[in-house]
Amino acid sequence: MSRRVMSGRAGWLRLAAALAIAPITGGCAWTLNATAGHARTVRDVSYGGAPRQRLDVYLPAQTSGETGPGANASEPAAHAAPGRPIVVFLYGGTWQHGDKANYRFVATAFARHGYVAMVPDYRLYPEVRYPTFLQDAAQAVRFARDHAADYGGDPTRLVLVGHSAGAYIAAMLALDSRWLAAEGLRPERALRAVVGIAGPYDFLPLTDPVLQEIFATPQGLPSTQPITHVGEATPPMLLLAGAADHTVDPGNTERLAARIHEHGGPVQAAVYPGNVSHLSIIGAFAPPLRFLAPSQRDTFSFIDAQTGWAESASAGSAANVTAATRAADARP
């Protein structure tokens, strides 16, 4: 896809059609990222010792009186406004592909809404197999919690969001307590909310030889499935899928939601009707493509509700107005 920013609805409709068949890589990612707007970014922060154990941090715009890094800064915002939700976004790619840089349009959307967004790379097949990518993601969550305040975030407002294979990882961290427990965390306490977008949660039997190799484990394949680990202690979850998803059967979303309901867990789920596909549901986070699906709106509404961010932001705005009024009244 040409590295030329499209203009007009017809151009964006062509990109939307491309998202039905092309992965978010190369020119497609460049085009989506070019529409995202600006967010201050701290790149390539290490959360572990391996080359792919790095993450990018996206920060909301500076507010009055805040001093912090500019775009592409290398140091955290020491005096950022505290209390913002921290969103760790895990991208997909069949546990074999992916680059955090391709998802700047998603992370920027989170930052422009007022969240602190972190997008980690994690190790992939063939370098690693299950469960290493889960362990990497758990380390990234531990980093986000430990360093939330460095970037103006609240460690008690930590949210996981994942798409495709990233949604699988997010669900496993939320439902199988082993992975976060290895980092000294309990999912139901450490995670305020989890959002899975077009995720595979119940995908046995495996017929792809590569996936068979990725997920081979002495504990047996059922242990690799998020649906196996549903119990009573579950963080609030939002599960989204598109009816036209021919990559991951939307039945994964329906079955996991039903299982959580059976156990009395907090879950909301939606399968969007029409032409919402595996990639358009995440492409809709790019400003010109939001007409494709309400996935961004529903994600933000869920996170706001679970973290209390909407109320906090409103209270903060009111406090700023009150302070400004008092300052004006004090002038001679």
What gap in Å lies between CA 41 and CA 57, rounded to an integer?
Answer: 6
For residue 176, give both structure tokens.
Answer: 């199988």
DSSP string, 172-215: HHHH-THHHHTTT--HHHH-SEEEEES--SS-PSP--HHHHHHH
pLDDT value, residue 36: 82
For residue 201, give both structure tokens.
Answer: 């949660």
CB atoms within 10 A of CB 72: 10
What gap in Å lies between CA 201 and CA 266, rounded to an integer?
Answer: 17
3-state helix, strand, coil in the chain (%, to 5): 45, 15, 40
What gap in Å lies between CA 279 and CA 260, rounded to an integer?
Answer: 25
SS3 241: strand
Measured in degrees and rounded to the nearest 5, phi and psi for residue 145 equal -70, -45
How would you write the pLDDT of the chain (332 residues) with one tens digit per residue? 444 444 455 454 454 444 444 556 555 777 898 888 889 999 999 999 999 999 999 999 864 334 344 334 444 544 445 599 999 999 999 999 999 999 999 999 999 999 999 999 999 999 999 999 999 999 999 999 999 999 999 999 999 999 999 999 999 999 999 999 999 999 999 999 999 999 999 999 999 999 999 999 999 999 999 999 999 889 999 999 999 999 999 999 999 999 999 999 999 999 999 999 999 999 999 999 999 999 999 999 999 999 999 767 666 544 443 333 233 333 33
- Angle CA 3–45–171, to nearest 5: 85
CA atoms within 13 A on the CB side of 74: 0
